[in-house]
Structure 1
């Protein structure tokens, strides 16, 4: 299901065929520098995330992380979208992209497009939880209009909490 499109991107629901992309986004050390947890080591782990996390969120809440497909090459190059963070009782805009697409404005383009759809799900504000030192993600958050709210702990790590009223 397509959520929205930009000139370069399609934001859509993840599908079973996307497990290789999910695996890449969770196994490349460079991508995971500021992501808590261990890198994936098998496609079966990506299949479990697709079934038990992504699909479950779509079913329970009507929303979840959305695949970001690059129109020029038809590849899923990352994700961008909402997820409910129980520990904060808020919805987070999360995003992650393959390194070869960094520095091209993809994060801002997808982030703005995603935030525009949040109201469709009765989401009126969003946070971004960004591990300390992740200047790239902080830059994206600022460029899409999020403001640094405070510092907190998430999954045992210090994070900067960015916030935006939509």
Structure 2
């Protein structure tokens, strides 16, 4: 299901056919360092992870983390979206790209689209975001979007403390 378009990108719901991409994405060094290790090692693992982490949210919440594709050629470059984590009081934004697509402004462009979607389509008043303690690129991206750091918290389900950010929409 198509969600939104930006100048260069299209965001859509992931499908089971995206399992090879998801397997690759969640095993990227940047994902493992800055997000977590979900233990996804096979295509079957990727499908199970997608069902529990992506497809279930689409069905139950009507939003979630979406596939980010280049509009000109349909290449999947990453994920970006909106999610309500049990550990946070309000919905948050998250994003991740394959390393080969970093540095081209895709994460910022996709995140801007998701912020607008949260405000305009979903009517939300606030968004949150979290990063690893040492993730300067994500902190810089959130600052460009106008997020304000709220401090550090040890969130349930995470091994290390997270930096927590908030944006009034």
- Which TM class, normalised by the smaller chain length? over 0.9
User: Which residues of 2 match residues 80-159 of structure 1 at below 5 A?
Assistant: 80-119=80-119, 120-154=121-155, 155-159=158-162
Q: Is 1:21 paired with 2:21?
A: yes
CA offsets, 1:62-115, max 9 Å, x none?
A: 111111011233122111111101122221100000111111111110100011
Bigger fraction of residues in strand: 1
C-alpha RMSD of matched pairs (Å): 1.4
Which stretch of structure 1 is more off in the superposition, 15-24 or 59-68? 15-24
> d(CA) in 1 for partners of 2:57 and 2:89?
15
The residue that corresponds to 1:162 in the other structure is 165
Structure 1 counterpart SS, 2:84: strand
Structure 1 counterpart SS, 2:83: strand
Structure 1 counterpart SS, 2:112: helix
Number of residue pairs aligned between Structure 1 and Structure 2: 166
> d(CA) in 1 for partners of 2:53 and 2:107?
22
The residue that corresponds to 1:44 in the other structure is 44
Runs of 4+ in 1 over 6 A off after TM superposition: none
Q: Which 5+ residue runs of structure 2 have no aligned equivalent?
A: none
Displacement after TM superposition at 1:37 (Å): 2.6
Contact 1:29 1:39 in 2 (8 A): no
Q: Which 5+ residue runs of structure 1 have no aligned equivalent?
A: none
Q: TM-score, normalised by structure 1?
A: 0.93
> d(CA) in 1 for partners of 2:113 and 2:38?
30
